């Protein structure tokens, strides 16, 4: 029964990826939805979110290639910063007109039923989608979002959107604390109806949101300390929020469906990840590479080439006649059942390490290092690294740090490594920290690594006045070189 249910939900979810003319659907009443069970709506928000993030043409071609963890030996326009606008539109329409609209409907229908637990879970998914949207595009509709009949909502500043995200997560935490009602286990594809886990996710997503903006808005640091003091964050890998995909289409991981089932062998691991780009003179903030750092994740993240060696493709360089000369992504990351990670315990621990290192929470460098090692260990466990190999890596002298300056770069580097496979999140965290130091790819169309997506063509075609106003707030207009609000 659960398999049939999942297939039904998946069939609904995959329709969103190909549709980019539904800008106005979020402002339709939830009562008009053909699906009236809020549990089903919650399930579609989970699937649609993870499917668009793990879509190889979005999370791979742009996220993983722009963070220079992957590279393509052919068909690499996106890697060289020449994106297909349809893929950018797909993220907009999926998150805005599908995930956020359905989360809003689920919230309202659950409220009618007095199911505060389901309300809280719906708010978590809505806040998560809003954060992805505003991090990727910049100013997006928020204050006029969901007003029936208003098909031309204003784009709000990212600061306003972030204030709303934080408020939603606070409300979700309140609703999930001693909440009423149940979340149908078969519809809850993250936690099987465990509301305690949803509460941890709400608070951990709030930590992520606060860490993303604290350098721009230092006043929120007190909220980070309050979260730590309250103690309702993820505490182990078992708390990680991840969608477990199935072994066959149409409900396998989208990366598998493209690269393996679709036979798209041009996707390779980058030379930066394997061999590094560190140079003590020209790039002292670069990365030494998985080989030089004796990182046991090497054979998880990459396969050996036809000469039995790990060889990464130089980002931006095409090698169409030599597909087998470069390392493909590792077997784990090409599995049909690779989990679609929404937020991991490892990422939470690395945020806490950074927070302690920067003085946002108490404990200083000593506490920062403890969180740091917990985060690395959690990611090694997620990647199924043998215990002996993990312990040997964690014992390396050069992995530790004793100063705030040393910790800053090492924590950010481990965050970049831990987000391997999570393309949009890896690129977003790199945009925030700038670690490791990366340069535009070879043969790049532009002088900077993209900082945002173009607004959707729906915004331009159907909401022209507000699109123009939003564009005017960006430092370089509606271009990929414009910085989003929280970037330095």
Q: Identify the helix (H) or strand (E) that includes residue 471.
A: helix 464-472
| pLDDT tens-place string over residues 287-342 | 999 999 999 999 999 999 999 999 999 999 999 999 999 999 999 999 999 999 99
pLDDT at 14 over 80: no
Indicate the pLDDT class of residue 1, thresholds 50, 70 and 90.
Answer: very low
* Cα separation, 131 vs 220, whole angstroms: 16
pLDDT at 5 over 80: no
pLDDT at 33 over 80: no
Parallel/antiparallel/unpaired status of strands 140-141 and 70-72: unpaired
Give the pLDDT of residue 31.
42
| Token digits of residue 444 | 């790049």
Give the pLDDT of residue 34.
58
Q: Identify the helix (H) or strand (E) that includes residue 104.
A: helix 101-113
Q: What is the CATH number of the domain that holds 101?
A: 1.25.40.390
Closest CA to 136 of 104, 68, 89: 89
pLDDT at 181 over 80: yes
Region 257-265: mean pLDDT is 96
Give the pLDDT of residue 248.
86
| pLDDT tens-place string over residues 58-76 | 999 999 999 999 999 999 9
pLDDT at 12 over 80: no
* Cα separation, 360 vs 221, whole angstroms: 5
Give the pLDDT of residue 148.
87
Q: Is residue 322 one of the residues assigned to a domain?
A: no
* CA distances in angstroms from 60 to 125, 197, 333, 334, 455, listed in the order given: 22, 29, 12, 12, 19
Q: Is residue 193 one of the residues assigned to a domain?
A: yes
Q: Is residue 483 one of the residues assigned to a domain?
A: no
CA 457 to chain centre: 23
- The pTM score is 0.94
Q: Is residue 327 one of the residues assigned to a domain?
A: no
| pLDDT tens-place string over residues 127-140 | 999 999 999 999 99
Handedness of CA 209, 210, 215, 218 (dihedral sign): positive
DSSP category for residue 302 = B
Indicate the pLDDT class of residue 24, thresholds 50, 70 and 90.
Answer: very low
Q: Is residue 471 one of the residues assigned to a domain?
A: no
pLDDT at 29 over 80: no
Give the pLDDT of residue 258.
97
| pLDDT tens-place string over residues 102-128 | 999 999 999 999 999 999 999 999 999
* Cα separation, 101 vs 77, whole angstroms: 32
pLDDT at 481 over 70: yes
For residue 105, the enclosing domain spans: 2-251+337-446
Q: Which residue has the higher pLDDT, 149 or 396?
A: 396
What mean pLDDT is reported for the chain?
93
Q: Is residue 157 one of the residues assigned to a domain?
A: yes
pLDDT at 274 over 70: yes
Residue 2 CB-density burial (10 A; 0-12 exposed, 13-18 middle, 19+ buried): exposed
Which residues on adjacent β-strands are paired with residue 442? none
Region 21-32: mean pLDDT is 46
Cβ atoms of 79 and 63 closer than 8 Å: no
pLDDT at 32 over 80: no
pLDDT at 8 over 50: no
| pLDDT tens-place string over residues 80-107 | 999 999 999 999 999 998 999 999 999 9
Q: Identify the helix (H) or strand (E) that includes residue 156.
A: strand 155-156
Q: Is residue 480 one of the residues assigned to a domain?
A: no
Q: Which residue matches tokens 């060696």?
A: 309
Indicate the pLDDT class of residue 147, thresholds 50, 70 and 90.
Answer: confident
| pLDDT tens-place string over residues 194-238 | 999 999 999 999 999 999 999 999 999 999 999 999 999 999 999
pLDDT at 145 over 70: yes
Question: How many residues appear in the chain?
Answer: 488
Number of domains composing the chain: 1
Q: Is residue 89 one of the residues assigned to a domain?
A: yes
pLDDT at 3 over 90: no
pLDDT at 191 over 90: yes
In the chain, % of residues over pLDDT 90: 90
SS3 label, residue 329: strand
Q: How many CA atoms lie within 13 A of 192 on its CB side?
A: 5
| pLDDT tens-place string over residues 390-405 | 999 999 999 999 999 9
Region 384-392: mean pLDDT is 98
Residues with Cβ within 8 Å of residue 8, at least 6 apart in sequence: none
CA angle 341, 164, 114 (to 5 degrees): 80
* CA distances in angstroms from 256 to 190, 231, 264, 300, 389, listed in the order given: 20, 37, 10, 15, 27
Indicate the pLDDT class of residue 250, thresholds 50, 70 and 90.
Answer: confident
Give the pLDDT of residue 249.
84
SS3 label, residue 270: strand
Closest CA to 210 of 348, 379, 369, 378: 348
Give the pLDDT of residue 127.
98
| pLDDT tens-place string over residues 426-476 | 999 999 999 999 999 999 999 999 999 999 998 999 999 999 999 999 999
Give the pLDDT of residue 10.
44
pLDDT at 478 over 60: yes
* Cα separation, 125 vs 99, whole angstroms: 8
Give the pLDDT of residue 146.
85
């Amino acid at each position: 029964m659960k398999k049939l249910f999942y297939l039904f939900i998946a069939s609904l979810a995959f329709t969103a990826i190909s549709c980019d003319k539904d800008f106005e659907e979020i402002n339709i009443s939830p009562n008009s939805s053909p699906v009236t069970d809020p549990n089903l709506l919650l399930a579609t928000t989970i699937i649609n979110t993870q499917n668009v993030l793990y879509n190889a043409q979005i999370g791979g071609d742009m996220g993983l290639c722009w963070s220079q963890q992957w590279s393509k030996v052919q068909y690499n326009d996106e890697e060289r910063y020449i994106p297909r606008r349809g893929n950018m539109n797909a993220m907009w329409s999926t998150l805005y007109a599908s995930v956020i609209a359905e989360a809003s409907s689920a919230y309202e229908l659950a409220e009618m039923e007095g199911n505060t637990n389901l309300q809280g879970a719906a708010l978590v998914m809505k806040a998560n989608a809003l954060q992805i949207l505003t991090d990727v595009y910049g100013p997006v509709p928020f204050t006029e979002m969901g007003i029936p009949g208003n098909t031309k909502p204003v784009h709000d500043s990212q600061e306003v959107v972030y204030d709303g995200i934080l408020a939603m997560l606070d409300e979700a935490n309140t609703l999930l604390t001693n909440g009423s009602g149940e979340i149908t286990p078969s519809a809850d594809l993250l936690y099987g109806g465990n509301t305690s886990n949803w509460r941890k996710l709400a608070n951990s997503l709030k930590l992520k949101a606060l860490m993303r903006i604290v350098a721009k808005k230092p006043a929120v640091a007190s909220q980070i300390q309050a979260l730590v003091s309250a103690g309702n964050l993820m505490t182990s890998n078992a708390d990680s929020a991840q969608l477990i995909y199935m072994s066959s289409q149409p409900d396998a991981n989208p990366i598998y469906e493209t690269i393996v089932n679709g036979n798209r062998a041009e996707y390779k691991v980058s030379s930066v990840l394997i061999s590094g780009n560190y140079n003590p003179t020209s790039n002292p903030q670069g990365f030494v590479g998985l080989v030089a750092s004796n990182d046991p994740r090497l054979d998880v993240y990459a396969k050996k080439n036809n000469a039995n060696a790990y060889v990464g493709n130089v980002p931006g360089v095409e090698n169409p006649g030599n597909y087998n000369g470069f390392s493909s992504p590792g077997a784990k990351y090409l599995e049909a059942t690779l989990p679609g990670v929404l937020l991991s315990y490892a990422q939470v621990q690395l945020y806490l390490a950074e927070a302690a290192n920067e003085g946002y929470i108490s404990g200083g460098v000593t506490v920062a290092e403890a969180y740091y090692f917990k985060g690395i260990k959690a990611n090694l466990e997620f990647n199924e690294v043998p215990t002996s190999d993990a312990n040997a890596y964690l014992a390396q002298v050069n992995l530790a740090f004793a100063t705030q300056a040393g910790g800053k770069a090492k924590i950010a580097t481990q965050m970049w490594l831990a987000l391997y496979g999570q393309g949009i999140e890896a690129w977003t965290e790199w945009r925030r920290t700038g670690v490791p130091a990366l340069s535009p790819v070879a043969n790049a169309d532009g002088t900077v690594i993209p900082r945002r997506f173009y607004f959707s063509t729906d915004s331009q075609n159907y909401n022209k006045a507000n699109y123009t106003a939003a564009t005017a707030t960006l430092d370089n207009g509606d271009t990929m070189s414009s910085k989003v609000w929280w970037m330095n």
